[in-house]
Structure 1
Amino acid sequence: MNLAHQPQTWTSYTPASMPPPEALHAGMLARVLDEIDHGLMLVDLTGRILHANHPALRELAAQRTLRNVDGMLNAAQSGWQNPIRQALKDAERGCRSIVELEHASEPLSLAFIPLGPRDAGAEVDTVLIMCSRSAGCETITMQMFARAKQLTRAEQNVLAQLCAGHGAEEIACLQGICLSTVRTHIKNVRQKTGSGSIREVVHRVSRMPQVVSALRMHAN
């Protein structure tokens, strides 16, 4: 059968044939943002919050570093407000910037990304603020990885502690188990994941997409 003369019945999706962003439903875009385990906020150049995904809403509700004051993004401490204002001014000029807020319990880094119409030379009208991910490793991503590799709950707990930067002896103390038990779990994790070292496993987990747990989403 000569396929060269057969009519093509599939559709080739090129950038030109894809629907423009305006055709995408706003509700669907919001759901996409909510599935990412980084705080994401869209603000205008004055700092008015246009949208915040679930991790960002949690950060605002905690009021450790950021607050929502009548729909406006504000720093929880007065000394942090000027860096945020400057970052918004930089974004208006098309410049990206990082702001670090050093809180005692959990520092927060913010990346300010200027957004605007797709036309070249168009003025920036919106800023995407990306928050650093929470330091905790017990995420739905970890659970999904553990399930795919058939890790036991104990092995998953040890891996989460390793990802958090703890050594074997620390994990033994934190979990109240023998050091030999921790080392056995580490060996099993390496074998089940086909990794040459536990550092390789931690690196693999750190590179995975960070997905928000449905339970955490509905808790807001």
Structure 2
Amino acid sequence: MSDAVNETLALLMNHRSIRAYHDTPVSQDQLASIVAAGQMASTSSNVQAYTVIAVTDPELKSKVAKLAGNQVYIEQCPVFLVWCADLYRLKKVTESHLGDTSYEDSTENFIVATVDATLAAQNAAIAAESLGLGIVYIGGVRNQIAEISELLGLPELVYPVFGMCIGYPNQETGLRPRLPMKAVLHMNGYSREQSVEEVKAYDTTTKQYLLERTNGQNDATWSQMMAKRLAEPTRLHMKEFLKGKGFIQK
């Protein structure tokens, strides 16, 4: 295998979301390896501002699934990970070293915690796939985020960024086409024209992909799908919830 397409790149380029799982359990050793790989992700100033909650109890998974939009694969997967941005730990362990002023509730630290959790989760996803497991991210944990936070006992300055189903795949899925590289890779500065023009070819690609995937039932382009998404109010409760949890105060 050449350097241009090594095993790691092949694994990354073969990523697909898995929404059906065998009942084969994920072992504690596998889970530990997956989370350990997540912990080795880059982290801003080594703050490691995240916590991951592994939900394995069937009753608890069922409750989470209902709150996350009745997504049955949350119940089916052996392990459901809830990746949380966590500034609570940082606040508590630094209190004795600080004076009267602290900025754990700043917008910048909110971004740091969210990015830290995301980087760790993606490392974990790759680790899981390297073990023959499949994953799918679940943004639906933010649908009823206050209820899920209460269910999982999340304190102030902790919020669930997303969930992640993990298990042995029980389906074959195709690769979803991505934007042309020129749409996302700009050299030495942002090109407005390049960013927009490259989508035209992608619209054709996604239309054909959907026609094949739905047996001719859906021929929407990516632009049309994104317009529909932007036209619908989505999780407008997030700002109030995050402020109520102590985030983005400064």
Greater fraction of residues in strand: 1
TM-score normalised to structure 2 length = 0.26
Greater fraction of residues in helix: 2
TM-score normalised to structure 1 length = 0.29
Return the index of the structure with the highest Cα Rg. Answer: 1
Q: Using CA pairs below 8 Å that are at least 6 residues apart, which structure has the higher relative contact order? A: 2
